[in-house]
Amino acid sequence: MKFNSFYLNILIRIILLGITNFGFFWLLVATNRFFTTVFLGFLIIVQIAGLIYYVNTTNRNLARFLLMLGEEDVEFIPLKQKVEKTFKGLHYSFQRLNEEINRIRLQREYSDILFRNVITHMDTGIIVCNRNGSVQVVNESGLGLLNFQVLNNITENNSQYSGLSNRILKLKLGGSSVIHLSNTLGESQPFLFRAKKFILGSEELVLVSFQNIQSELEEKEMESWQKLIRVLAHEVSNSVIPITTLGTNIRNRLKLLLKKPEEEVKINTSIIKDIYRSAELIEQRGNGLIDFIGRYKSFLRLPEPNMKPLVLKTLLDDVCSLCAHSTAEESVRITNKVEPSYLQLNADRKMLEQVLINLIQNAINALSGNPNGVINIKAHEAKNSMVILSITDNGPGIPAEIMDKVFVPFFTTGEQGIGIGLSLSRRIMQLHGGSIRLRSEERKGTTVVLTFPGQI
């Protein structure tokens, strides 16, 4: 029977104490044996003290046993034997428990080693700090990118990068920001910083990741230049070729006239009309080219957004009302749903309104001729207070071969469009620190997703 030694000792001591108490009170009431009664009273006190001492000694041995569990040293062996003698099987039970604790501890150590090796070998810099800037974790890549040997508080980098700590602490959670830092050669290089908040125990921590995006930007810049050159070459050639052709036509007409003697030169009315029409077309194409350059300049010179809190439901209701006439003409039904209805975001109302109108108008155009056309607008709050807004239509979708071109400025498949709507929308979303994504499947429809960063 397990633990019988301890129970047996307690039971015997209680029985003896009970017998002594009985004898004490019997002598006290029924006899006049004073000294015997005093002796029994003293014996009761000794028995109670012995019981307390035994229980306390057992507790102390048990506590020492638990503290020294797993340490098979010289002091532990006799203690284990003593505890085993008192509580049979206890050591085995706690040994099993100790093995399980060791297994869990080793598993956590393995996970910690894996985690540290992963963040050590990452090219991305990682900093974990609290709201006061005290650094809890920083990896080697982070130290290397910032040119530091040790980093205890992110305010330490202000000596090398003025104001960097404030910009890091004010990063929009879930969003990103490009910050330019100087390398050891004094060259300014762009770094992409991201921030995410999490709770560890009772402390609020911020995880900041950052990486040098110089090569990525150069690659994207080259790709953008190639796309831009193709667009410009297309637009300029469309204007220059007719101008050159008309100029050649005028030159040839005048050349024929100049070959004749002055007295024989007679300008035919048809020739004058032909030259006049050619000059008119040259002017028209020239104006078209000037208009194209003007649109390009307006695309590049967008003002900084005037950020203010907006109730998203109110904004969507207003935009749907503005588009009501177009939807009625095309027999398109439009719905909008915001969860929660009081959802807000910081944005420039005029700019965001322009983006939404462009996207809804694109959806209406895609649904032209569809008697069952539907546009669903939904918005909700995601993780890190990010706001996700989607516009979905059940139109014919976008062919896969042109999906990578739809955001290129001045690319259009419509007869009346100028091809600036989606590229302008992307630019406005970038100015808001957000993003725009497009998903489409032919004959099933298109979804445009706008993502706005969360607020701190």
Are the C-beta atoms of 61 and 76 separated by less than 8 Å? no
Lowest mean pLDDT among 20-24, 39-43, 121-125, 297-301: 297-301
Burial class of 227 by CB neighbour count within 10 A (0 to 12, 13 to 18, 19+)? middle
pLDDT at site 170:
77
Query: What are the Cα distances from residue 390, in Å, to 330, 334, 335, 359, 429?
Result: 21, 13, 12, 10, 14
Distance between CA atoms of residues 175 and 218, nearest Å? 22
pLDDT at site 409:
64
Of 387, 385, 388, 389, the residue nearest 455 (C-alpha): 385
Are the C-beta atoms of 425 and 436 separated by less than 8 Å? yes
Tokens coding 193:
């910083």
* Tens-digit pLDDT profile for residues 390-446: 999 998 888 887 777 777 666 666 555 445 678 788 888 888 888 888 888 888 889
Q: Which CATH superfamily is domain 308-452 in?
A: Histidine kinase-like ATPase, C-terminal domain (3.30.565.10)
Of 372, 360, 358, 348, the residue nearest 320 (C-alpha): 360
Of 360, 334, 370, the residue nearest 448 (C-alpha): 360
* Tens-digit pLDDT profile for residues 56-75: 877 776 666 666 655 555 45
Burial code (b: 16+ CB inside 10 Å, e: under 16) for 386-417 equals: bbebbbbbbbbbbeeeeeebbbbbbbeeeeee
Helix (H, G, I), strand (E, B) or coil at 196: strand
* Tens-digit pLDDT profile for residues 205-235: 888 888 888 777 777 766 766 666 666 666 6
Query: What are the Cα distances from residue 110, in Å, to 54, 116, 118, 120, 338?
Result: 44, 10, 12, 15, 45
Could you tell me the residue ranges of all domains in the chain? 4-97, 123-212, 217-300, 308-452
Q: Tell whether the torsion through CA atoms of 408, 412, 416 and 422 is positive or negative.
A: negative
pLDDT of 364 above 70: yes
pLDDT at site 201:
77
Contacts of 77 (CB under 8 A, 6+ apart): none
pLDDT at site 2:
45
Contacts of 192 (CB under 8 A, 6+ apart): 176, 177, 178, 210, 211, 213
Helix (H, G, I), strand (E, B) or coil at 267: coil
* Maximal C-alpha separation, the chain: 173
pLDDT of 265 above 60: no
- For 327, other C-beta atoms within 10 Å of its C-beta total 19
Q: What percent of the chain has pLDDT over 70?
A: 71
Q: Which CATH superfamily is domain 123-212 in?
A: PAS domain (3.30.450.20)
pLDDT at site 70:
52
Tokens coding 35:
């000294």
- The mean of the pLDDT values for the chain is 77
pLDDT of 389 above 90: yes
* Tens-digit pLDDT profile for residues 116-132: 888 777 788 888 888 78
Helix (H, G, I), strand (E, B) or coil at 106: helix
Distant-in-sequence contacts of 108-112, Cβ < 8 A, 24+ apart? none
Lowest mean pLDDT among 73-82, 112-121, 160-169, 243-252: 73-82
* Tens-digit pLDDT profile for residues 313-334: 999 998 888 888 777 777 888 8
